[in-house]
Structure 1
Amino acid sequence: MTKVLIIEDDNIFGDMLSLYLTEEQYDVVRVASAGEGLRTLKDYTPHVILLDLMLPDTEGINACALLREFTTIPIIVISAETKVSERIQSLSEGADDYMVKPFSMQELKARIEAVLRRTTAIQSQIVSPTPASPAADDRVLTLDLARRLLICNGTEIETTYSEFEIMKLLYNNPSKVFSREELINAIRGIDSYINERAIDVHITNLRKKIESNPKEPQYIKTVWGVGYKFMKK
């Protein structure tokens, strides 16, 4: 079942979206602020996020840019803002689509499906095995600091700003244990939305991208009660 996270503070419009998508057999969770959205991502991994830009806790901040620091999940902006400049800014800062309120629910469904088709196609290209690839347990992981790229088996892996900063710190200090607080401090330019639970989300996302089996990680190890460490092979 396709899972959708709606971040919308307008109760009437948010309930309308939730009801429609639920009736269309989507699994829906709705929250009313960007902060709640980030906390929800700890335990709920949606296939797509519907994001209102005008939220009570993002005044003066582009909500899409804020959210994109923490996740690569497809984002469809749903906004009453009609300015072309706002659309361009949101798309350039990580949105996958932009819809202006009011809009047709049928069109929303079509756009969700279109975004998911694109995402599925990209993921298939990335994970499809090739004869030349090393065995899963012999993955080669490198960092290209100049281009800010994480490379696994020769494939460039997309990361958010925060994911790369965390990976850089761990990678450059193999076997050293970092507390969550130390990892938070390593993410420069991020405001109060970053917290220990957000760090856990970043680590989970990184493991999905670099580990052959994220549930039994070989690179990023958990040190229970303390934090995380990176093991070079």
Structure 2
Amino acid sequence: MYKVLMIEDDAMIGDMVSMYLGEEGFQVIRKENGAEGVVAVRQFAPDIILLDLMLPDMDGLELCRHVRQTSGVPIMIVSMKSKVVERVKALGAGADDYMCKPFSMHEMSARVHALIRRSNTYQKVVDTKRAPSAVLIENKLEVSEELLTVDKSIELNLHTRSMLVRGHVVETTYSEFEIMKCFINNPGRVFSREDLLQTVRGFDSYVTDRAIDVHIANLRKKIENNPKEPQRIRTVWGVGYKYV
């Protein structure tokens, strides 16, 4: 049984979502403010978080950033704010999806299923196949059963879906992880924004060229010594990005 944590102060919406997802076999708990939500993330260990942006005690984006510092759990924003800039801010804060109120319960349920399914995909692949990926000798790409790396300073653990940067674990969203996996699998190859859109489509239900730029900016902050002068994720003007 998958566990859903809903951080939402609107009792009516909370009750409807809890009832609907409960009938579909999810275990759902709701917290009415951010402080209780933070505690629940640790104690309840949810498989997905449904997060309202306007909470009585803190900004939802602040809470999203806080959770993302220590957890890779899928986060879906559920908010009255419908402007594109709000969606972009949410992606920048580490959210994986965004739904505007009012919304279809059927669509919400489908997105919850999709995010959880995709978050577990690579875990299942590793557990069942336990096979190493292809090796690109000329680019010094090294792949073990679990680790994907080019030069040891940045490693992707496919088993835990975590990224190590110079020996330290750095949390990523699912979309960020997929983009990094794509880069490390193909060092030197130039990817257009459309290529990267196809890589993350399904993780982000609302995904645009601008969203890709946000993901790249976030990754640079996490892996580059100086994000303003990136040495690893390079911009190829007029085309897209490549990993050096």
Is the structural similarity TM-score above 0.5?
yes
Q: Supply the distance in 1 between the matched residues of 2:60 and 2:132 (Cα, whole angstroms).
A: 50
Distance 1:59-1:4 versus aligned 2 partners, 3 A rule: closer
Residues 91 and 53 (structure 1), Cα distance of their counterparts in 2 relative to 1, 3 Å cut: same
* 8 A Cα contact 1:7 1:52, kept in partner: yes
Q: Are 2:174 and 1:158 equivalent residues in the alignment?
A: no
TM score, norm. by length of structure 1: 0.56
1:25 and 2:25 correspond: yes
Query: What secondary structure is seen at the aligned counterpart in 1 of 2:13?
Result: helix
1:70 is matched with which residue?
Answer: 70
Task: Report the secondary structure of 2:70's partner residue.
Answer: coil
In the other structure, the counterpart of 1:203 is: none
Q: Is the 8 Å Cα contact of residues 48 and 75 (structure 1) preserved in structure 2?
A: yes
Which amino acid is the alignment partner of residue 65 of structure 1?
A: R
- How far has the Cα of 1:59 moved from its partner? 3.6
- What is aligned with 1:49? 49
Unaligned runs of 5+ in 2: 134-142, 171-244
Q: Paired residue for 1:2? A: 2
Matched residue, 1:113: 113
Q: Corresponding residue for 2:104?
A: 104
Q: Does 1:35 align with 2:40?
A: no
Q: Indicate how the Cα distance of structure 1 residues 54 and 131 shifts in structure 2: closer, same or farther if over 3 A, else same.
A: closer
| Equivalent residue, structure 2, for 1:87 | 87
Which ranges in structure 1 are unaligned for 5 or more consecutive residues?
166-233
- Counterparts of 2:164 and 2:7, CA distance in 1: 20
Superposition deviation, residue 131 in structure 1: 6.3
Q: How many residues align?
A: 158
Are positions 1:130 and 2:135 aligned together?
no
Q: 2: CA distance between counterparts of 1:101 and 1:129?
A: 42
- 1:110-156 CA-to-partner distances (Å, cap 9, x unmatched) read 11111122112232345552369879xxx99x9x996xx4566x989
Q: Residues 6-42 of structure 1: CA distance to partner in whole angstroms, max 9, x if unpaired?
A: 0111112112211211122211111112221221122
> In 2, Cα distance between the equivalents of 1:50 and 1:124?
24
Percent identity at matched positions?
Answer: 40
Shift of 1:90: 0.7
Q: What is the root-mean-square deviation in Å for CA atoms of aligned residues? A: 3.5
Contact residue 70 and residue 160 of structure 1 kept, 8 A? no
Assess, with a 3 A threshold, how the Cα gap between structure 1 residues 130 and 2 changes in structure 2: closer, same or farther.
Answer: same
Looking at structure 1, the residues matched to 160 and 79 of structure 2 have their Cα atoms a distance apart, in angstroms, of 33
* CA distance in 1: counterparts of 2:46 and 2:160, whole angstroms: 23
Counterpart amino acid of 1:4? Answer: V
Return closer, same or farther for 1:80/1:125 CA change in 2, 3 Å cut-off.
same
Distance 1:160 1:28 in 2: 32
In 1, Cα distance between the equivalents of 2:113 and 2:12? Answer: 24
Q: Is the 8 A contact 2:123 2:160 kept in 1?
A: no
The answer to whether the Cα contact below 8 Å between 1:48 and 1:74 also exists between their aligned partners in 2 is yes
Q: Distance in 2 between matches of 1:107 and 1:6?
A: 16
| Alpha-carbon offset, residue 160 of structure 1 | 9.8
Checking the alignment, whether the CA contact within 8 Å between 1:33 and 1:56 is kept in structure 2 is yes
Asked if the contact 2:47/2:73 (under 8 Å) is kept, the reply is yes
Maintained 8 Å contact 1:34/1:67: no
Paired position in structure 1 for 2:212: none
Counterpart-to-counterpart distance in 2, 1:25 and 1:158: 28
